[in-house]
Amino acid sequence: MDTAKNLSLILTRMEKARANSPAAAKRVELIAVSKAQGEAAIVELLEAGHRTFGENKVQEAKTKWPALRERFPDVSLHLIGSLQSNKAAEALELFDVIETVDRPSLVDALAKTRNEGRGARCKTFYVQVNIGEEPQKGGVTPAELGDLLEYCRTPRSSPLAPLPIAGLMCVPPADKNPAPYFALLRKLATGHGIQQLSMGMSGDFETAIRLGATSVRVGTALFGERLY
């Protein structure tokens, strides 16, 4: 696997999809999803100048990223997997962006920790939307989104310390055409005055970009198959 070469190919494909679409964002960020990937490939991307990465587990990120951050301090790390409330403080220390806010109890845990002056690294939060309303997936349903956003403005744990929500994130059903789901996420964001849209993975990032993604999360197309 030539990861640095994959990086430049994917950036080229992203820019082509963006430039040819009137609904595309002015700028689209690539989140390199490094979960279950070897360190050598991650370092190859860092040395090629890439700085934005995604991990789905707090524990795994904790074993990999503090050491890499000593060498590459300007890394931006996104949490893209579900977060247990008892790991909220750790996640706030480790990640720059948490994309998976999905329930009031987690909002409370995050807001409380922030209000205590801890977890200062993370300043950006997205709500995960279960856009296909699949029982096995995390995220709020489209119908529940308004209530959760309202809760983020005045969490019970710290009513004076809102959790600012900058974006929405989704993973559409695996076996369906993703386009209508991406379009729905965008419509929800517009309706709620939210700017950032994290949508699109290895198999569908160009479709997501055409429909307005501001970031795409790409793992296997960059790194190859994951090492489980």
Q: Residue numbers of the site for ligand PLP (CB under 6 A)?
A: 33, 35, 56, 80-81, 171, 201-202, 217-221
Instruction: Tell me whether residue 180 or residue 203 sits nearer to ligand PLP (CB atom).
Output: 203
Q: Which is nearer to ligand PLP, 186 or 217 (CB)?
A: 217
Closest separation in Å from C-beta 149 to ligand PLP: 20
Distance of alpha carbon 127 from alpha carbon 100, whole angstroms:
6
61/218 with CB nearer ligand PLP: 218
Closest residue to ligand PLP using C-beta atoms: 219
Closest to ligand PLP by CB, 70 or 175: 175
The nearer residue to ligand PLP, 80 or 107, going by C-beta atoms, is 80
Q: Closest separation between CB of residue 111 and ligand PLP, Å?
A: 23
Which is nearest to 167 in space by CA: 141, 147, 183, 188?
A: 188
Measure the CA–CA gap between 69 and 62, rounded to whole angstroms. 11
Q: How far is the CB of 159 from ligand PLP (least distance, A)?
A: 31
| Cα–Cα distance, 98 to 57 (Å, whole number) | 11
Q: Which is nearer to ligand PLP, 8 or 71 (CB)?
A: 8
CA distances (Å), origin 150, targets 58, 102, 141: 27, 13, 15
* Residue 147 Cα distances to 6, 140, 144, 150, 179, angstroms: 41, 10, 6, 5, 25
Closest separation in Å from C-beta 22 to ligand PLP = 26
CB of 80 to ligand PLP, least distance (A): 4
Q: How many CB atoms lie within 10 A of CB 137?
A: 18
- Other Cβ atoms within 10 Å of 183 Cβ, number: 16
Identity at 24, one-letter amino acid code? A
